[in-house]
Chain A
């Protein structure tokens, strides 16, 4: 029961999500936060495809996954653009420092 490929993939998804959440908690750099979000999205992609397979609608899972890939890329692009502009304006990428600035 435990050694089914789908079980292994489910454990991998949970582990990737755990590592991603851990990274989100300990990271302060704005660019690295975008990077950690990418890790979380990889786990979600796998989860969507696996859910589609388990639910008997594999095409729907793949369709949702492809939409998530596009949205995830846009999140990365916009997040990195924001990070670069924040760095130019405030001179730092450290989130606690940025949040204490005014103006």
Chain B
């Protein structure tokens, strides 16, 4: 069997963080109040950031922690505060056992397909993130700039007070 190199400093903490992330994800989904689900989502972001850091992707972990656990949480709390009491989640249309069975099947298939990929030998690349991002993937940087402008437009839409269609009704 080809050897698998161990990069993570401690498999135990990887397992603990991921188990906690999965638990928080489940609690976020079954939570009745969206504010509680938002807090669970922030916890998931923090835990995923920890796993990313332990994988060696420190810069991505910092981005995920600041954006996922910070900005997105603030936006969700603001949206919940705007929509008020309507934030309670109604019961699902699909029966939950059926949804659980479907997702279980899909998850098993996904694991079965993805598991052989992990058996390969890991090769270390000497190219770091800065070189890849600013030399090989400049298009990604431009796409990120365009996306950030789109995000600014989205924030303006989120903050705008005018009801869509009000102008037509007045005319």
Where the two chains meet, the residues of A that have a C-beta atom closer than 8 Å to any C-beta of B are 1, 3-23, 25-29, 31-32, 34-36, 38-39, 42, 45-46, 49-51, 53-67, 69-74, 76-78, 80-85, 87-89, 91-94, 96
Contact = CB atoms under 8 A, between A and B. Distances in A.
**Chain B interface main SS type:** helix
B60 A65 contact: yes
A85 B129 contact: no
B63 A39 contact: no
User: Interface range on chain B: under 10, 10 to 19, 20 to 34, or 35 or more?
Assistant: 35 or more
Main secondary structure of the interface of A (DSSP, over half): helix
Interface of B: 1, 4, 6-8, 10-11, 14-15, 18-19, 21-22, 25-26, 28-29, 34, 37-38, 41, 44-45, 48, 51-52, 54-57, 59-60, 63-64, 67-68, 71-72, 75-76, 78-80, 82-83, 86-94, 96, 99-100, 102-104, 106-107, 110-111, 114-115, 117-120, 122-125, 127-129, 131-133, 136-137, 140, 143-144, 147-148, 150-151, 154-155, 157-158, 163-165
Nearest to B145: A70
Q: Which of A31, A61, A62, A74 has the most C-beta atoms of chain B within 10 angstroms of its own C-beta?
A: A62
A15 B17 CA distance: 13
Contacts, number: 276
A50 B44 CA distance: 18
A3 B92 CA distance: 37
A38 B71 CA distance: 12
Contacts of B71: 73
Contacts of A55: 123
A84 B51 contact: no
A39 B60 contact: no
Nearest to B163: A88
B118 A74 contact: no
Contact of B154 (A22, A66, A81, A93): A81
B132 A63 contact: yes
A61 B128 CA distance: 10
A5 B72 contact: no
Contact of B34 (A20, A26, A35, A65): A35
Contacts of B147: 70-71, 74
Given A21-B107, A70-B147, 9 more contacts: A1-B119, A11-B18, A12-B14, A39-B29, A39-B44, A53-B7, A62-B60, A69-B68, A74-B151
